[in-house]
Amino acid sequence: MGTRKQIVDAANRLFYQQGYERTSFASIAEAVGISRGNFYYHFKTKDEILEAVLQARLGDTRAMLAGWTEAAATPLERVFRFVDIVVTNRGDIELYGCPVGTLTSELAKLGHPSRAQAVGIFGVFRDWLGEQFKELGHSANADDLALQVLAFSQGVATLSNAFGDRDYVERDVRRLKTRLMSLDT
Amino acid sequence: MGTRKQIVDAANRLFYQQGYERTSFASIAEAVGISRGNFYYHFKTKDEILEAVLQARLGDTRAMLAGWTEAAATPLERVFRFVDIVVTNRGDIELYGCPVGTLTSELAKLGHPSRAQAVGIFGVFRDWLGEQFKELGHSANADDLALQVLAFSQGVATLSNAFGDRDYVERDVRRLKTRLMSLDT
DNA sequence: GTCTATATAGAGATAGAC
DNA sequence: GTCTATCTCTATATAGAC
């Protein structure tokens, strides 16, 4: 694997685990196993790494959703895959929260120019969820339903990170699924 | 107003607007109008300021909830006051997110020892909401309902911060209130 | 492409005068 | 209680050898 991609991968993980502001070039370089000097051959500024990380996340997200679109037969099953994230990734979420929500929030506080790109990842989920609800026959309020499901995931992720209450997370996931099933008529 | 309180107030605001990690002693000192040197007469470390800020927030939260308990006649009205926060404070939330959720998440990523105290603020809301649901006659699942309302507020706050869609926020608040009203029998 | 060495700025933190 | 001056550490970033 190329050094550049290794840097982006390490930065991606560290930005998630420690936050963007906290993560230093030194720690990324150490994680990759290169010197700080070599680092600057690949990226001139910290902002450049962030942009590359956001591009990578955007691509990963699109690929994941495309995979779900193919693997799951019905739109409701696809939405369930999304909802299940908070259970599937509970370990990481308990420790570091939602990768999209926490980064978006941090960049908002920093007034960072790449904030819009981070919000764009939310947008990809939002659009994809909206598509599923359209296919379910809820064209009129597809986007509204998408936002509700997105908000659910963010709320549960934040509480999961705060309290680490797995029973609650599973209860709420089950509850949302039941509500969503009533949309499938 | 005493210098110490001024420092705590300024730090409280800056931690919210910029994040804990980003906020420097210099910027707090500048906001208060004192020198960095004087700063250390009142607080020896940055962690000490954070602890004071968390204590202040805990006190403010308890006072606010006590006020609501007194001002609103029914438990459902009290819960509505809480739910309305995302509308009342929409300006700040669009810019900086929820003060409790974003700080808790940041401290989790930093592995900060005061994380538990920040989660404690969530706990105060959780307990208070649980009390209201008990009074509403839902003792069996009062805490579960409290967590659902808390998760709602966090989800809406995160999306409000990301998209700034006030129509959605008002829609979702109205929706939750309708659901909650069906609990009042 | 990768390294070591270094420049520069800002952070947290201390000492001591007033 | 407040100030200036200073220490130390770490951060981003650059220069130049290999």
CA distance B185 to B181: 8
Q: Dump pLDDT digits (tens) for B40-98.
A: 999 999 999 999 999 999 999 999 999 999 999 999 999 999 999 999 999 999 999 99
Domains and CATH numbers, chain B: 46-181 (1.10.357.10)
Element (H or E) spanning B128, and its range?
A: helix B115-135
pLDDT, residue B35, reads 96
73-102 of A, contacting B, C-beta below 8 A: 95-97, 101-102
d(CA A113, CA A92): 27
Task: Identify all chain A residues contacting B122, using CB atoms and an 8 Å cutoff.
Answer: 159, 162-163
Return residues 24-63 of B near A (CB < 8 Å): none
The predicted-structure confidence for A101-154, as pLDDT tens digits, reads as follows 999 999 999 999 999 999 999 999 999 999 999 999 999 999 999 999 999 999
Q: Which of A22, A159, A165 is closest, CB to CB, to B110? A: A22
On strand D, nucleotides with any atom < 7 Å from a protein CB are 1-6, 10-16
Average pLDDT over residues B136-155: 98
Radius of gyration of chain B (CA): 18
Asked whether A22 and B110 are in contact (CB, 8 A), the reply is yes
Nucleotide nearest to A44 (CA to C1'): D13
